[in-house]
A = this chain, B = another copy of it.
Amino acid sequence: MTESKAINVPELLKELEGHLTSLKYGQEPTELYQPIDYIMQLGGKRIRPLLALLAYSLYKDDYQSILNPASAIEVFHNFTLMHDDIMDEAPLRRGNPTVHEKWNANTAILSGDVMLVKAYDMLLEIDPALLSKVLRLFNKTAAEVCEGQQMDMNFETRDHVNEEEYISMIRLKTAVLLGFSLQMGATLAGAGEEDAQALYDFGVNVGIGFQLKDDLLDVYADKAKFGKQVGGDIIANKKTFLLIKAKESASDEQLVELNKWLEVSSTESNEQKVKAVTSIFTKNGINTLTENKMASYFEMGFYQLKKLKVNNPQALKTLKVLTEDLINRES
C-alpha cells in the first residue's frame, strides 16, 4: 500500500464548490434552468457530497474521479428542497426567497423535475460495472425521501404522532440520503459490501441524531449564534421529538396548557407561547431526554465505524471529526 493522501475538509469543500459552480444544467428556456443555478448557489453545508467524497477516500485517493456523482446527490437534495418549499409554502430558503416565491409554483415544479433528471444524468459517470447497483440503491433512497416528506405532511393534519412514527419519518425524509451518500462513496471506491453497509448504517444513525439536534436547537439554541428565530417549531406547532415526548410525559394540567398553546394562532402571543412551551419542556426534562436519545443514535452510528477495514485511517479520522463538529454545532 502506498502512503495515503492527507484529507482535509476545507480543501475537499473548496474543490467541491468549484465543481458545483462549474456545472451547466442547460440554457433554454431560461425560466427552466435559471432556478437551478439560483438554488444551487444559495449554499449550504454540502454535507451529502462531502460524505460521499470522504467515504471514497477511506479506500482510494483519487476522490476527484467521483466529483460528478457526489455532486448529483447535492443536486437531488436541492431538487427535494425546491419541491418541499412549494408544499410547505416556505417563503425563504437560507435567507433568500424560495424559487416558487421568486418565480412561481409552476416554475418550481418544472425546474425541480428537470433537476431530478440532471441528477440521474450526473450519476451516469459511474463505472458501468457499478452503475446498475448504485442506481438501484439511489432509487430506493429517492423513493424513501418522498415517503418521508409525505409522512411529514400527513403528521401536520393528525392529532397524535408517536415517537416511533416520528423517528421513522425523519429516517426516511433525511437520514437515508446521508446513509446513501456514504454507501455510494465506499461502493465506488471498491469497498466490500460489509463496509458499504456499515457506512450506510453510520449515516442513517447519525442522520437521525442530526435531526434530533435540529429539533433541540430550534428550542434551546443561543439566540445570538442561531441565525434564525428560536422557537420557530413551537410557533408552527411542529410535531417534533420534543413536543411528542412532552405530550407523553405531561401532567393533566400541563396537557391542558400545551393544548391551549397549540390552538393559539395569533402572532402577537408568539413570544409568550415559546416561553411557556419551552418551560414545560424543561420542567419535564425533555431537553435532557432528547440529548440522551441523540447521543444513543450517535453512539450506534459510531459503533458501525469500528467494523470498517479502511485503507486510509487519516480519512476515517477526518470523517469522525466532521461528524463530531456537526454534533456539536450551535446553529
The 8 A CB mask of A134-147 against B (1 = contact, 0 = none) is 01100100110011
Complex formed: what's the CA distance from A60 to B169 in Å? 46
Q: What are the residues of chain B within 8 A of A109 when measuring CB–CB?
A: 83, 86-87, 109
Q: What are the residues of chain B within 8 A of A124 when measuring CB–CB?
A: 132, 135-136, 139
Inter-subunit contact B117/A147 (CB<8 Å): no
Whether A252 sits at the interface, judged by CB under 8 Å, is: no
Complex formed: what's the CA distance from A186 to B107 in Å? 35
Among A27-35, A91-99, A195-203, the stretch in contact with B: A27-35
CB contacts under 8 Å to B, within A94-153, are 105-107, 109-110, 112-114, 116-118, 120-121, 124, 128, 131-132, 135-136, 139, 142-143, 146-147, 149-151, 153
- With beta carbons under 8 angstroms apart, the residue of B107, B113, B118 that contacts A116 is B113
Inter-subunit contact A120/B135 (CB<8 Å): yes
Whether A267 sits at the interface, judged by CB under 8 Å, is: no
Q: A114-B142, A117-B146, A128-B128 are in contact. List 19 more A-B contacts (CB 8 A).
A: A26-B147, A28-B147, A31-B154, A32-B150, A83-B109, A83-B113, A86-B109, A105-B105, A109-B109, A110-B146, A114-B147, A117-B139, A117-B142, A120-B120, A121-B136, A121-B143, A124-B132, A124-B135, A128-B132
